[in-house]
Structure 1
């Protein structure tokens, strides 16, 4: 599934300038008519199933009694299902995983992080530009966009989801993603990951597409599982690795605040008593991070994007242990481990000041429950 841009038409020579008021027309309609916009996929000239859906049954998570009673809040903005995590963690849920789908739309404008055609739009970034551009310099015969709003906003989502969809984009057109800007800079570690994964996307802030392919690729079906595992194997091919007990990936103060007050104490305990490696991804380059994570039987740390470094290369039968703040429980990694034949466990902390604290004994007892 490597990129082969040569079989599709790249931006036309000479950068012929085109003019469009598509973004301003959208803004005017929204402000004056107050009507909801039409999603671009709904006006596709063609749509098709790339891979079938399926129904899966979720296994239970590993956790101690009374952990879920500590949960006072959970992430309900982005991660389905938008309910208290208890039912998800108990397991036994029958989950309908939808198909992976493609959509072909003709004559589409890309303007500052949004796609437009007529009254339809599709947002690739979370916030529109106050003064969107009207000059478009690139024209592309056929492109496929693999980036998403969440992937452009959060590193973990970019690596776990957008990079997986890149393989589909390579088969459908020139793989395109939005170019970085002051509002949405390129993630610091993205270039190194793209290099090791062989990703060569075309980064654009504006363009006119004669044909554009979009995807529905959010379901954890077999196709997504296989593409994710293939991505992990590409990363592993760059480093020597042997099985080892586990890796604790520090979160520190990066990203949305989830301040584990005794994070280093937990990490050092696991290093001393269980032989875990400790990785600080904010102070370590990508090759060293992957080398440390490769072969780990357990990936542990505060729930958050930084865990993706280890989850990417975790093998079937491995385990993920998340340390959850009581006021922001997120079930996301449970869906990935269910999909990839891995195990999921968690410990919920107790609030302390502007953060939370984790009981090290509870970490030990939870790990004893897990097949590590």
Structure 2
């Protein structure tokens, strides 16, 4: 299992996407029905289960400020909780004779996209490689297109999937590195994948959980957290504020630094900046935190990787882009979720410190 051969091989497979009727693109991962139809074998790795979504902590009148959402259909229901969540089982699929090129995996008439288009080489998009550099038997693909687009999902999903890949075959991903902090995390989490954009996969193993956070995923996520905490142990402290600044999709909080500094002065919060600090510096500050605070976004997942059960997250939400994505992870890890919705000012927003303090009191801080 897992034989890797360095072999030059010619294949025009990447050019089939230009032929009419042959282009059937899919995002990679969570394509169970498609994978089942293509698989030579499929099996269940872990069963599904059900949980009840807990209510978030928030002040009266906050939800009424929301003017727009992102990846959240019904903020009122999501934040009030009390509903049952069905988490799908984790399944594996083995596909024979697949090809991996320029952020895509090709199988028959189908291609699976591992990256958003803006991360791919435009030149290679029009002139894909025709020379394959390696043949891999039992390649296990743990990357997802969502994980390569959103850093938070890479940490929670792709890094957790790596354990599945290592157990079932040879972990394989593309050689495109979308995040500055990625390689440092891979070192800490003992991830050592094969990186390639030109390979023939004799057997390719894929995984699917249909966005579920079943017990097995919690176990894998917790194992990664324990690895990080063993490297960055710390005594309990009040909390950490993670500055977002202008990183990622724009959502500018006009008084972000002011709020962070006041929390440091009044309550002893630590402050880290994802645009300036290394992973080591960020995790050292987050380890032991009782509360994680910051603007809604993937940068908060640095802190979520170290928070232990019973800790809390306070998310500062832009009123025109309210998102409940982070709550999926806090619910899985028994972490309290709270939020304050900002006040719009032209294209940006600001947060009322008094509302932050009142929300902290709800968390018994």
Equivalent position to 1:205, from 183, 197, 200? 197
Whether 1:111 and 2:101 are equivalent positions in the alignment is: yes
Whether 1:177 and 2:169 are equivalent positions in the alignment is: no
Structure 2: which 5+ runs fail to align?
27-32
Equivalent position to 1:191, from 183, 194, 205? 183
RMSD of equivalent CA atoms = 1.7
Partner of 1:155: 151
Whether 1:83 and 2:79 are equivalent positions in the alignment is: no
Contact in 2 for aligned 1:270/1:276 (Cα 8 Å) = yes
Q: Report matched runs for 1:295-310 at 5 Å.
A: 295-310=288-303
Deviations 1:262-301 (A, max 9, x none): 0011101111122111111221121121111000010110
Q: Report matched runs for 1:272-311 at 5 Å.
A: 272-311=265-304
Q: Distance in 2 between matches of 1:203 and 1:320?
A: 34
Contact in 2 for aligned 1:40/1:122 (Cα 8 Å) = no
Q: Distance in 2 between matches of 1:106 and 1:242?
A: 50
Q: Report matched runs for 1:111-130 at 5 Å.
A: 111-127=101-117, 129-130=125-126
Structure 1: which 5+ runs fail to align?
1-6, 77-81
**Structure 1 position 21, deviation (Å):** 2.4
Report SS of the residue matched to 2:70. coil
Contact in 1 for aligned 2:253/2:350 (Cα 8 Å) = yes
Partner of 2:161: 165
**Structure 1 position 36, deviation (Å):** 7.0
Contact in 2 for aligned 1:107/1:117 (Cα 8 Å) = yes
Contact in 2 for aligned 1:156/1:305 (Cα 8 Å) = yes
TM-score, length-scaled by structure 2: 0.92
Deviations 1:122-154 (A, max 9, x none): 211122723222221111111101001111122
Aligned residues: 352
CA spacing shift, 1:210–1:62, aligned 2, 3 Å: same
Contact in 1 for aligned 2:24/2:110 (Cα 8 Å) = no
Contact in 1 for aligned 2:25/2:113 (Cα 8 Å) = no
Partner of 1:44: 39
Contact in 2 for aligned 1:108/1:209 (Cα 8 Å) = yes
Q: Distance in 1 between matches of 2:322 and 2:168?
A: 37
Whether 1:255 and 2:251 are equivalent positions in the alignment is: no
Report SS of the residue matched to 1:17. strand
Q: Report matched runs for 1:318-357 at 5 Å.
A: 318-357=311-350
Partner of 1:17: 8
**Structure 1 position 325, deviation (Å):** 0.3
Partner of 2:29: none
Deviations 1:6-27 (A, max 9, x none): x6212x1xx3222222222233
Deviations 1:15-48 (A, max 9, x none): 3222222222233135xx7877794453111111
After superposing on structure 2, the runs of 4+ consecutive aligned residues of structure 1 that deviate more than 4 Å are 33-38
Partner of 1:55: 50
Q: Distance in 1 between matches of 2:179 and 2:37?
A: 31
Contact in 2 for aligned 1:22/1:117 (Cα 8 Å) = no
**Structure 1 position 242, deviation (Å):** 0.7
Deviations 1:188-241 (A, max 9, x none): 111111111111011111210111100014311111111111101101111231
Q: Distance in 1 between matches of 2:145 and 2:198?
A: 16
Partner of 1:4: none
TM-score, length-scaled by structure 1: 0.91
Q: Distance in 1 between matches of 2:257 and 2:153?
A: 25
